[in-house]
Structure 1
Amino acid sequence: MKSNQQRQSIVPSAFRTRYENFHYSPAVRVGDIVWVSGQVGTDSEGRVGIDMTEQARFAFDALKCVLEQAGATLADVVELNTFHTQMRQEIQAFVAVKDEYFPSDYPAWTAVGVTELARAEFRIEIRAVAVVGSGGR
């Protein structure tokens, strides 16, 4: 296997505790493709956002952090999958925040309503796939 095809776990320092406690990589990069694990609505200290808007911003900020550690940017995201506990009530608030992070050249996106996430107070989880360098920004 070529060296650029080696599997690389991406673990930013802010994610080290979660990596050690829950045994998962925040992202995995193989070649130019980065798969980012689900990001939830907490800030860097683990505080849960008070509403959908704040949780979405926290999750997108975490996504951006993980991508940067992997050598990618939000512009390189080709696919988003989002999981919502209150999708019908909060989808417009989520879309408004998503559009702040993806104002053009939108990635493919699938939104799924779910009954629960890892913690009862979580309203959103965002996972992504990026192709490093594909965004051209």
Structure 2
Amino acid sequence: MPKRAIIPAAVAAAAEALNMSPGIVSGDHLFLTGTTGSGPDGAMPADPTAQFEQAFAKIGMVLAEAGLSMDAIVEMTSYHVGLRDHFDDFDAVRLSVFKPPYPAWTAVEVAGIRREGAVVEIRVIASMVP
């Protein structure tokens, strides 16, 4: 089965510059590239909660391009710099985004993320089957 790239117009230039796809449909699933909380202008907010909200908004944008909502997410892995420092804030944002049944989730503490100033990167897999 051939794979298909999902690239919202708002991030097409960045995807091309980085030689990557924000999302790839393969079979019955959409695999999203890890997403940080940078804003539309590329700036990374200093506030972790703002990063969490923006990261989920960008995930929602890729899902919408594929005709999906956040409800389609079946698995999420979040990578955190300083996980214990901001876990409760991240979890509050997560719970504002998802409703039961919640996606499977693994949270991982990391030493660093490629984007300077990023405290989180979120990777998700969504089901293309309603």
TM range (shorter): over 0.9
> TM-score, normalised on structure 1?
0.90
- The correspondence for 2:96, drawn from 79, 87, 100, is 100
Q: Distance in 2 between matches of 1:119 and 1:7?
A: 27
Q: Give runs of ≥4 in structure 1 deviating > 4 Å.
A: none
Measured after TM superposition, the shift of residue 72 of structure 1 is 1.5
One-letter amino acid matched to 1:123 = V
| Residue ranges of structure 1 left out of the alignment (5+ in a row) | none
SS at match of 2:45: coil
SS at match of 2:34: strand
Q: Is the 8 A contact 1:73 1:132 kept in 2?
A: no
Measured after TM superposition, the shift of residue 16 of structure 1 is 1.1
> TM-score, normalised on structure 2?
0.94
- Which position in structure 2 is the counterpart of 1:20? 16
- Which position in structure 1 is the counterpart of 2:121? 125
Percent of paired sites with the same residue: 32
SS at match of 1:71: coil
- Which position in structure 2 is the counterpart of 1:35? 31
Q: Distance in 2 between matches of 1:103 and 1:96?
A: 12
- Which position in structure 2 is the counterpart of 1:78? 74
Aligned length: 130
Q: Distance in 2 between matches of 1:39 and 1:82?
A: 9
Q: Is the 8 A contact 1:49 1:58 kept in 2?
A: no
Measured after TM superposition, the shift of residue 30 of structure 1 is 2.0
- The correspondence for 1:89, drawn from 69, 85, 92, is 85
Mapping of residues 49-64 of structure 1, within 5 Å: 49-64=45-60
Q: Deviations over 1:70-94 (max 9, x none)?
A: 1221001000000000101111100
Q: Distance in 1 between matches of 2:27 and 2:89?
A: 35
